[in-house]
Structure 1
Amino acid sequence: MLDKSQLSNRPKMLDQQAEIAKFDDLAREWRDPKGKFKHVLAFNQTRLTAIEDAIAGHYQRDLTQDVCFEGLSILDIGCGVGLLCEPLASQGADVTGIDASAYNVLLAQRHAKSWSIKVEYQHCLADDLLNKPLQYDVILNTEVIEHVDDQRQLIDVCCQLLKPGGLLVMATLNRTIKSYLIAIIGAEYVMGYLPKGTHDWRHFVKPQEIDNMISRHGLTTIKVEGMRFNPFFNQWKTCRQPDVNYLLYAQKPL
C-alpha cells in the first residue's frame, strides 16, 4: 500500500514524464524532413556537407571511412538542437556543443541519448570556456554572429579557443541588398520559411569584415563560398557568390 508521501509524489512524477515526452517529440520534429522545419534541414544538410569536405581537406581525412574524424576535437558554438554535432560525432569526432538556450541544449541531449550518440552538450556562452585550458581542432560558428551585438568579442573568443593549425568555420549572412531582399523579405515575409523578425539586416557581416577581425589573431582566410537556394528544384547548393548566405574557412598559424 502507498503511503501519503508516495501519493503526493505521483502527480509530479507523471508531469516529469509528460515533459520528457514533449521534448522527445520536439527533437524528432526538428529532424523530420517533411515537417515544419524541412527548409532548415535542407539548408543544414548542404552546409554540413560543405563543412565535412572542409574538415576532411584540412586534416587530410578520407570521408569514405566510417570514423574519418576520429581524434579531432570539434566545438560547435551556438549548436542549437545539435544538427551539426551529431553527424560529426557519428564520424568519430570528439564534439562539444554549446548554446545560450537551455531549451535547445535539452532537446539536443534528449535526441543524442535516444540514438546513443556521444556529444558533450553544455548550456553556456563561448566566453565561459576561456576559463578552461581547452582548445579545439575545429570551431564551428554557424548562423550565430548575426545575432550577437559584440561581434568582435565573439570572433576573439573563437580565435582563442582554436588550436594552432586549427580550422575555423564561420557561416552567416552577407550585408548586401540582395541578402535583405532574399533572406528577410523573401524568407521571412513572403515564403514564411522563418518567423518574421528572425534577422536584423544591420547585423549581417561581410566576409571582409570577418577576415579583418580574425587577422588580428593571425588567422588566414582559406576560402569563402556561398549558399544558394533553387526554388524550382527546392534545393540548396554551394556556389561561388557569397552575396547572401556564405561559409568562411580560416586557418590558425602553427
Structure 2
Amino acid sequence: MGTVSAAEAAKFGAFAERWWDPEGPMRPLHRMNPLRTGWIAERVAAAGLAWAGLRLLDVGCGAGLAAEAFARRGASVTAIDASAEAIAAARLHAEQGGLAIDYRIAAPEDLAAEGARFDVVVALEVIEHVADRDAFLAALAALTRPGGRVFLSTLNRTARSFLLAKLGAEYLLRLLPVGTHDWRGFVTPAELARALRRAGLAVIDSAGMTMDPLTGAWRESRDLSVNYLIAARRG
C-alpha cells in the first residue's frame, strides 16, 4: 500500500486491544477527541451539511474513537486503517455499542481507485505517520466530492513540539508509549497548506489544540505550535 508505512501500522496495531481504555496508551486521544470532533462538527454545520446521512470517511481510524463520535451524530461512516488489529478492535467496539460503521482494512488510495466519494473526509493524527505525504493528500482529495470538506489534525514541527509532544509526552509524563512519534515526520501548517493546494484542496480554517498539563483537558486556541487542526475544501 503506497501511502502506508508498514512499521507505523504495526506500531499502532500493537495498541489495539487497549485502544478503548481511557487510561491506556491512547489516553491523550480519548481526552482530545471531544475537541477535534466537535470542531469538525461545527464546520460541517457551517457549510450547510446535515449530519443525517452525511457520507463521511475516517482515514487512519485506529480502533474508532472519532468514527464512533461521527456515527453517533448521524453520519454514514466508512472508516479505514492499515492495521488489521485496530480494525478488529473497532468492529468489536462498534458492535457492542450498536453502531453500524463500515470498517475496512485499506489505504485511501484503495478506495480512490474504486471511485468512492464522500461529503467529508477526515484524517486525524495520521499524516505524520504516512509513507508519502503528497500521495496521501492526493488520495484524500480524490475521495472528496466537489464542494466537500477535508479535515486533518496533526503536530507542528517546532522546538516546542519536540519538547512537549515528543520528550514531554513520551519520556517525562509518559502520556504516550515511547516511540509513538518521530518528530521529523511532523508537518508545519505552511507545509501542509502548500501540500493541500497541490492536491487541489483550499485551506479554509485552522486552530490550535492546547492541553492543560495539570488536568489533561484540551481546548481550542490560536497556538498552532504543537497540535493543530486544519480544514480544507475541494473546489
- Same fold (TM > 0.5): yes
Instruction: String of CA shifts for 1:77-131, please: whole Å, max 9, x gaps.
Output: 0000010111211221110000000000000001111111010000111111122
Runs of at least 5 residues in structure 1 that lack an aligned partner in the other structure: 1-25, 62-68
Aligned to 2:54: 72
Aligned to 1:224: 206
Aligned to 1:81: 63
Aligned to 1:151: 133
Query: Computing the radius of gyration over CA atoms, which structure comes out larger, 1 or 2?
Result: 1
How is 1:78-227 mapped onto 2 (pairs within 5 angstroms)?
Answer: 78-227=60-209
Asked if structure 2 preserves the Cα contact closer than 8 Å seen for 1:27 and 1:110, the reply is no
Higher relative contact order (Cα pairs below 8 Å, separated by 6+ residues): 2
Q: 1:124 to 1:32 in 2, by over 3 A?
A: same
Shift of 1:38: 3.3
Asked if structure 2 preserves the Cα contact closer than 8 Å seen for 1:28 and 1:111, the reply is no
Asked if structure 1 preserves the Cα contact closer than 8 Å seen for 2:16 and 2:85, the reply is no
Instruction: String of CA shifts for 1:149-205, please: whole Å, max 9, x gaps.
Output: 211110111111111000000110001111100000100010111111111111101
Matched, 1:59 2:59: no
Question: Could you tell me which amino acid in structure 2 is paired with residue 49 of structure 1?
Answer: G
Q: Distance in 2 between matches of 1:209 and 1:32?
A: 34
Q: 1:96 to 1:190 in 2, by over 3 A?
A: same
Asked if structure 2 preserves the Cα contact closer than 8 Å seen for 1:146 and 1:173, the reply is yes
Question: Could you tell me which amino acid in structure 1 is paired with residue 75 of structure 2?
Answer: A
Asked if structure 2 preserves the Cα contact closer than 8 Å seen for 1:220 and 1:252, the reply is yes
Asked if structure 1 preserves the Cα contact closer than 8 Å seen for 2:115 and 2:143, the reply is no
Aligned to 1:65: none
Shift of 1:218: 3.1
Q: Distance in 2 between matches of 1:154 and 1:27?
A: 23
Question: Could you tell me which amino acid in structure 2 is paired with residue 154 of structure 1?
Answer: F
Runs of at least 5 residues in structure 2 that lack an aligned partner in the other structure: 1-14
Q: 1:210 to 1:35 in 2, by over 3 A?
A: closer
User: What SS does the corresponding residue of 1:154 show, helix, strand or coil?
Assistant: helix
State the Cα RMSD in Å.
Answer: 1.7
Aligned residues: 221
TM-score by length of 1: 0.82
Q: Distance in 1 between matches of 2:153 and 2:222?
A: 14
